Amino acid sequence: MPEPDKVSSPASRFARSLLTGLVADGVESIVLSPGSRSQALALVAAELERIGAIRLYVRIDERVAGFLAIGLAREARAPVVVITTSGTAVANLHPAVLEAHHSGLPLILLTADRPVEMRGIRSNQTTQQPGIYGPSTRMCDDVPAPEGADGEDAVAMQLAQRAVAAATGMQTGNPGPVQLNLAFREPLSSTVDDLEMWWQAVSLRRPQSQPQVAASAPAVIGRAPGTIVVAGADAGPAAEEFARAGGWPLIAEVSSRARFGPNLVLAYRTLLADETLAGQVQRVIVFGHPTLSREVPQLIGRDGVETIVVAAPGTEKYNPGHRVSRFEEHVVAEDPIADDDARRWLGQWVAAGRSALAAEEQRNGDQAASTMESARAPSLAARAEFAQQELAIMREPVTRRMLADALWRVTWPHDRLLLGASRLIRELDSWVTGKRITVHSNRGLAGIDGTIATGIGIALATEASAGGGTTRVLLGDLAALHDAGALLFGTQERRPAIQVIVGNDNGGTIFDRLEVAGTATPEAMDRVLTTPQHVDLSALAAAYGWGYTRADNRNDLERALTAPITGPNLLEVPLAR
């Protein structure tokens, strides 16, 4: 491989070797926030972007940078590098690190630091950075400041290789965040070499995909009466395949990416709250991380219910009430026996789910299903009445259910949908039908942090893979304001096709559905829980250069969701309290 000319700063030379090593081992995206101590890393990243070796994203807020990396890693399932300066910048990554840890997402955090002689003497922006993320990292190395000695280039390349292996779970099967805490002395940077020749050489041997850990032999799950399969967040299509192979009912949360197929049970919360079928459940097999209902953990906690959880090795295990019977890394279903009882069990669940959904639609009073026969009626008066009814329907104010249904209907396999932590994700989870689309949600800790930044990361990764389509983000008004800084793009960066849909009900109305709403006074609820806000979202969008649309009724909503999205757009949907 061509050897670039030596640079005068040990910091720049080590940064060059480390970052080029990470790129050689498969890193394609770098997110950085500017800072003095990390300048050597930043300048090498800029050179790598210039020659087309990586995609670089610059964000002034480290929390935004961390969740942008979450979105990139979520969609691409590949390691993403995050670069920060020292001190509080490192702490600002912690929410994203926690989400990456609990969701198994491969982030490689390059946190710049003072050298050892400048620690513990109250230097500016200096704190105890090594191990700051505690048990959330798969690897944490405190790397001494480079001196420019022979062999440091090889050390940096080896460090890069270990970091990628740890972040991707290459040996462990447990991907997650990695922290390389990098000390640098002055001079903090120097001129960066032209890396064009290096990139031409390394691109020929760059891995096209990361090697996977050798899978253990799967456990065979045999026939048993009263079995259901539950797919939580990030379960993936494997859950649907398993349920179909075993002939078992499938309860799939909306963020599971398994909400489709002939075994899917609709309106599952209604069924689990009813003893008619739920009382007959004897075994639950869980994929992913169920987070969206109380009914699932309540079912697992019942006496006489055996629960098997399918989870990767080394990960934190889902175990509500410590009632899980056993954990398995991989499972396969025993070939089903075509008996009447098995068919009846599956048919009861599927039919009951459809009936529950139909009953809810009838209670919901959805008038949109007017028949075309009325439009063709021979009577002029009848046709006029039909037209008036249709007009009234299109002028209806948007409800949460209407928003959920419309968004689900316009999302297709080439699109991406990110659901924030709010009442709205539960609205979709309760009532939308099956559809094989890619749905993301940060359910590792289920916080409202970084939802817009995550969505932008997903949109950027989707466009980079030539996947096309639109990325839509659905979130509440407080989650949107919590991440307003994510609306700012770096200069010279492309802006993806993304639509951020803010269900604006003027505060955290999810608290209205919790027990506290029955005990707290309305004044106290507003002051410390629902926290009403009156931000002008159109002005916010304009300040950051985003397009803005407002949907006050069904017609506005349909037009906004079906219009072509060519860049960042914020859609505000006012909702009743």
Span of 82-86, 178-182, 196-200 with lowest mean pLDDT: 196-200
Q: What's the rounded mean pLDDT across residues 516-520?
A: 87
Whether 433 is in a domain gets the answer yes
* pLDDT at res. 377: 61
Please provide residue 552's backbone torsions phi and psi, each rounded to the nearest 5 degrees.
Answer: -95, -20
Which of 12-26, 32-46, 75-89, 337-351 is least confident? 337-351
pLDDT-derived band at 239 (thresholds 50, 70, 90) equals very high
Judge if 320 and 370 occupy the same domain. Answer: no
pLDDT exceeds 60 at position 2: no
Residue 209 pLDDT: 52
Last residue of a domain, one of 355, 385, 416: 355
170 and 276 assigned to the same domain: no
**CB within 8 A of 282, min separation 6: which ones?**
224, 225, 226, 227, 304, 305, 306
Cβ contacts of 12 within 8 Å, gap of 6 or more: 40, 43, 44, 189, 190, 191, 192
* Domain contains 4: no
Domain extent for 261: 219-355
Amino acid identity of residue 390, one-letter, is E
Q: Answer whether residue 1 shows pLDDT above 60.
A: no
Q: Which residue has the higher pLDDT, 523 or 201?
A: 523
Measured between alpha carbons, how far is 276 from 561 in angstroms, rounded to an integer?
A: 39
Tell me, yes or no, whether 231 lies in a domain: yes
pLDDT value of residue 363: 74
Residues 79 and 146 in one domain: yes
CA–CA dist 2, 201 (Å, integer): 8
The answer, yes or no, to whether residue 201 has pLDDT greater than 80, is no
Tokens at 159, concatenated: 């460090």
Q: What is the rounded average pLDDT for all residues in the chain?
A: 90
Q: Are residues 242 and 273 in the same domain?
A: yes
What pLDDT is attached to residue 399?
Answer: 94
Q: Which one has a higher pLDDT value, 271 or 335?
A: 271
State the DSSP code for 469: S
Same domain, 410 and 530: yes
Out of 81-90, 288-297, 408-417, 508-517, pick the least confident: 508-517
pLDDT at 419 over 60: yes
**Same domain, yes or no, for 444 and 300?**
no
* CATH code, domain carrying 281: 3.40.50.1220
Per the rule left: phi > 0, alpha: psi between -120 and 50, beta: everything else, 311 is beta
* Final residue belonging to a domain, choices 168, 202, 236: 202
319 plus 336 within the same structural domain: yes
Local confidence band at 350 (pLDDT 50, 70, 90 cut-offs)? very high
Please check whether residues 378 and 519 belong to one and the same domain.
no
Q: For the residues 151-165, what does the mean pLDDT come to?
A: 95
pLDDT of amino acid 367: 47
DSSP notation for 151-208 = THHHHHHHHHHHHHHHHHTTTTS----EEEEEE-PSS---PPPP-HHHHHHHTTT--S
Predicted confidence at residue 125, as pLDDT, reads 79
The CATH code of the domain that includes 568 is 3.40.50.970
On whether both 381 and 405 belong to a single domain, the answer is no
75, 461 contact by CB (below 8 A): yes
Q: Is residue 197 part of a domain?
A: yes
**360, part of any domain:** no
Q: Return the higher-pLDDT residue of 274 and 8.
A: 274
Residue 369: its pLDDT value, please?
Answer: 46
Render pLDDT for 210-233 as a digit per residue (tens, 0 to 9): 555 566 789 999 989 999 999 999
Q: How confident is the model at residue 540 (pLDDT cuts 50, 70, 90)?
A: very high
Q: Mutual orientation of helices 554-562 and 400-410 as an angle, nearest 10°?
A: 30
426 in a domain, yes or no?
yes
167, 202, 237 — which closes off a domain?
202
69 occurs within a structural domain: yes
Q: How many domains does the chain have?
A: 4
Handedness of CA 444, 460, 549, 387 (dihedral sign): negative
CB atoms closer than 10 angstroms to residue 256: 29
Shared-domain flag, residues 531 and 446: yes
| pLDDT for 395 beyond 80 | no
Residue 337, pLDDT > 80, answer: no
Q: Are residues 65 and 179 in the same domain?
A: yes
378 with 313, same domain: the answer is: no
* 104: region left, alpha or beta (phi > 0 left; psi from -120 to 50 alpha): left
- The predicted pLDDT at position 432 comes to 94
Q: Considering only CA atoms, which of 570, 564, 503 is closest in space to residue 543? A: 570
Indicate if the pLDDT at residue 106 is higher than 50: yes
* Cβ-based neighbours of 335, under 8 Å, separated by 6 or more: none
In a domain, 210, yes or no: no
Binning pLDDT at 50, 70 and 90, where does residue 66 land?
very high
Mean pLDDT of 511-523: 85
Q: Are 136 and 96 in contact (CB under 8 A)?
A: no
